[in-house]
Amino acid sequence: MEEYQLETLYRTRRPFSDEERALIARAYDFSMAAHEGQTRKSGEPYFGHCFEAARITTFWGLDAAVVAAALLHDIVEDTPRTLAEIKQEFGAETASLVDGVTKLGHFKFRERKDEWLDEHERAENFRKMIFALSDDLRVIFIKLADRLHNMRTLGSLPPEKQKRVALETEEVYASLAYRLGMARVAGELEDLALPYLHPADYAWLLAHVPEQLDEREAYLKGVVLELEASLRENGVPLPHIDFRAKRYSSLYKKLIRYDMDISQIYDLVAVRVIVANVEDCYKTLGLIHQLWPPLPGRFKDYIALPKPNGYQSLHTTVFCVDGRITEFQVRTIEMHEAAEYGIAAHWAYEKDKDTKSYRRRRPVFADGKDVRWVQQLRAWQEAYDTKRGGFMDSLKVDFFSDRIYVVTPKGDVIDLPQGATPIDFAYQIHSEVGDEAVGARVNGGIATLDRTLKTGDLIEILRQKGKKPSENWLEFVKTSLARDRIRDALKKRDLLDRFGLKRKK
Ligand code: MN
Q: What is the pLDDT of residues 128-159, one digit of tens each?
A: 788 778 767 788 889 999 999 999 999 989 99
Length of the chain measured in residues = 505
Q: Which residues contact 412 (CB under 8 A, 6 or more apart)?
A: 112, 117, 122, 125
The listed range with the strongest mean pLDDT (12-16, 103-107, 232-236) is: 232-236
Whole-number Å distance, alpha carbon 343 to ligand 1 midpoint, is 22
Q: Which among 18, 19, 44, 78 is annotated as catalytic? A: 78
Phi-psi category of residue 452: left, alpha or beta, with phi > 0 → left and psi -120 to 50 → alpha: beta
Whole-number Å distance, alpha carbon 156 to ligand 1 midpoint, is 15
pLDDT band for position 497 (50/70/90)?
confident
Whole-number Å distance, alpha carbon 8 to ligand 1 midpoint, is 19
Whole-number Å distance, alpha carbon 164 to ligand 1 midpoint, is 16
Whole-number Å distance, alpha carbon 99 to ligand 1 midpoint, is 13
Q: Which among 36, 77, 115, 370 is annotated as catalytic? A: 77
Q: 416 has which bridge partners? A: 404
Inform me whether the pLDDT recorded for 323 exceeds 60.
yes
Q: How far apart are CA 397 and CA 455, in angstroms?
A: 13
78 an active-site residue? yes
242 an active-site residue? no
Q: What is the pLDDT of residues 441-484, one digit of tens each?
A: 999 999 999 999 998 899 999 999 988 899 999 999 999 899 99
Which protein residues have their CB within 5 A of the ion that is ligand 1?
74, 146
Whole-number Å distance, alpha carbon 78 to ligand 1 midpoint, is 9
Whole-number Å distance, alpha carbon 146 to ligand 1 midpoint, is 5
Q: 492 has which bridge partners? A: none
pTM for the structure as a whole: 0.76
Whole-number Å distance, alpha carbon 260 to ligand 1 midpoint, is 36
How much is the average pLDDT of 103-117? Answer: 76
* Residue closest to 111 by CA, chosen among 49, 45, 162: 162
Give the pairing of strands 269-275 and 325-332. parallel
Q: What is the pLDDT of residue 386?
A: 38
Inform me whether the pLDDT recorded for 419 exceeds 60.
yes
Give the pairing of strands 300-301 and 269-275. unpaired
Q: What is the pLDDT of residues 5-28, one digit of tens each?
A: 999 999 876 789 999 999 999 999
Tell me how far CA of residue 502 lies from CA of 156, 488, 492, in angstroms: 64, 18, 12
User: Across all residues in the chain, what is the average pLDDT?
Assistant: 84
- Vertex 205 angle, CA 200 and 209, to 5°: 170
Cβ neighbourhood burial of 452 (10 Å; 0-12, 13-18, 19+): middle
